[in-house]
Amino acid sequence: MRSIKKTLCCLLLVTLPLGIFVLCLWPLKPHPTVDVNYRISSISENLLKHKLWEPPEKYAYIPYKVKETVAGLLPKNNCRCDKEEPVLKLPFMGHIFPQTSVHQFQQVFNDAEQEVLKKRRQQEYQRFLERSHSPADALIIAKANSPLEYPTQGLQVRPLKTIMIPGLSSQAPPRNLYRVNLTATLGTFDVAAEVDQVTIEGVGQMHLSLSSSQVDNLNRQLQFVTYTNTVFNPNTADTVKFETDGHQAFFVIKIQHATIPKLYISEDQPGYNISALVTIVTKTFLRYDRLRELIASIRTFYPKVTIVIADDNNNPEKMEGPYIDQYFMPFGKGWFAGRNLAVSQATTKYLLWVDDDFIFTANTKIEKLVDVLEKTTLDLVGGAVREKTGFATTFRHQISVEQGGEEGDCLNIRMGHYHTVLDFPNCVVTDGVVNFFLARTDRVQRVGFDPRLSRVAHSEFFIDGLGMLHVGSCDHVSVDHASKIQLPWNKINGNTKMYKEFRYPKSSEASVRLRHGLFYLKNRFKCMIKN
């Protein structure tokens, strides 16, 4: 009887802490499922496009006269690349003045190719627009509560170009004279047409004043007001003051170049052509035996996918075989420097990052990860790394930054994720994932890897990418991790010993000083909270 009680007590001592631990980790409520798929919507390439010459029925009776010199400056969405011929053709003109050249890019393809590639390009461009579009880009007009109507967001002009300002209106109560003023600091105002019975002052200047005894005429004139950026300073904005008697409002005009898309056109075929869509990238150091295992496992499942290797070994060995690009670096150049090199050589739409001691298996289905990125707005999606023990790691972390005043901000890193991805029940949205991930090549290249982090680093990439990368994690795609257990009968070679000395230095003080110094000086963090 005493032995039974003793057994029960031991069982309670073991299971009670374990139960408390599980309850602490168990989510208090289930994670929601959120739709991060592409929105199938008509996204206008010109948010300012509206029917200028077709007034509302209320103002249809008011006559106007077009100012061709101003109206001709407005965007028309039909640019042409035509060579301008000189007005006067004189001898030696070509030696005196620079010659204009025109290149029609579609001419590098034959007629049959043009039709096919144009269609693919349009499909890819539409995906780009859907992925890059933000609700903050939509044009919104504030109704007259003040009594001014004006655009509250979505107004954008190219540097040194002209746009129409939509949505300007005054709904003032009856009076003898109606007057409105517009004031800018980085551009000037004009009108694309002149309306009868409206007085205009300040044309071509930073301050424009409009007045009329008829409110309808004034509002019709406001529909023709243009803004021209005169100060070349891209990626900024002009705050315009719009005022009338006793009331004023402000709205912003963004000044920025158009976003140049970076499209990847692959062959049109059923399913995903992984060889054309994905480049596998890795960094190797003193582990050629592991690297050969990795390459052999990749070739078992993907014989034609390009593998890019960044190599900073002291005695370089050439990896033979087709579709292998190996780039040699100075000895011990470092982990993130190698990552930068490898990633910079990827030319496909996606890159798959793997460590040099990973092994592909039947569960390493790149197609499944490609499907997630093709159908959602995610930029990067991690898989799972399976250890020899059978345990799979996804390394999901939530990263956030709290403002901290003059001393710097606070970095918070917590284990976990935010929500499940709609249509992909095995995938969640998070901020950091394991060292096995598929990503949009251009997004990873934009974030980059700090080459000063030479030995121990991973989360630093996701911290630098916070706000730029939309990250997901899926546990239904995995890669195996080669065993790190050194069996007694296996002889430790010189490279293995040297690798451990580099990877696990006896004194980690210098590494900690470097990482914490970068957090403090580069990222302006004063502290980090991590679990």
- pLDDT category, 26, cuts 50, 70, 90? very low
Mean pLDDT along residues 491-510? 60
Decide if pLDDT at 24 tops 50.
no
- pLDDT category, 198, cuts 50, 70, 90? very high
List all residues 6 or more positions away from 34 whose beta carbon is below 8 Å from its beta carbon: 418, 419, 420, 421, 422, 429
Q: What percent of the chain has pLDDT over 70?
A: 76
Bridge partners, residue 380, by sequence: 439, 471
Task: Give whole-number Cα distances, 71 to 156, 159, 164, 208, 410, in Å.
Answer: 17, 17, 9, 17, 51
Q: Which CATH number is 57-76+135-255 given?
A: 2.60.40
437 class by beta-carbon count within 10 Å (0-12 exposed, 13-18 middle, 19+ buried): buried
CATH topology of domain 274-530: Spore Coat Polysaccharide Biosynthesis Protein SpsA; Chain A (3.90.550)
Q: What is the Cα–Cα distance from 278 to 346, expressed in whole angstroms?
A: 9
Q: Report which listed range, 15-24, 69-78, 248-257, 449-458, is most confident.
A: 248-257
DSSP E strand stretches across 347-445: 350-353, 358-359, 380-386, 392-393, 397-402, 409-415, 419-421, 424-430, 437-440
Confidence at residue 120, expressed as pLDDT on a 0 to 100 scale: 78
Confidence at residue 45, expressed as pLDDT on a 0 to 100 scale: 41
Decide if pLDDT at 441 tops 80.
yes
Q: What is the Cα–Cα distance from 219 to 221, expressed in whole angstroms?
A: 5
Q: And the tokens for 166?
A: 């939509």
Helix (H) or strand (E) holding 327: strand 324-328
State the amino acid at position 53 in one-letter form: W
List all residues 6 or more positions away from 166 whose beta carbon is below 8 Å from its beta carbon: 48, 50, 139, 141, 151, 155, 223
Confidence at residue 356, expressed as pLDDT on a 0 to 100 scale: 93
Helix (H) or strand (E) holding 117: helix 111-132
The answer to whether residues 81 and 104 touch, using CB atoms and an 8 Å cutoff, is yes
pLDDT tens, 43-89? 344 433 445 556 677 788 888 888 888 887 877 766 665 666 665 66
How far is residue 194 CA from its own chain's centroid? 43
3-state secondary structure of 324: strand
3-state secondary structure of 484: coil
Confidence at residue 190, expressed as pLDDT on a 0 to 100 scale: 97
How far apart, in Å, do the first and last CA atoms of the chain sit? 44
pLDDT tens, 267-296? 766 789 999 999 999 999 988 999 999 999
Spell out the domain ranges in the chain.
57-76+135-255, 274-530
Alpha helices in 365-508 (DSSP H): 366-375, 441-447, 459-464, 494-503
Q: And the tokens for 292?
A: 């050969």
- With tokens 């582990």, the residue in question is 287
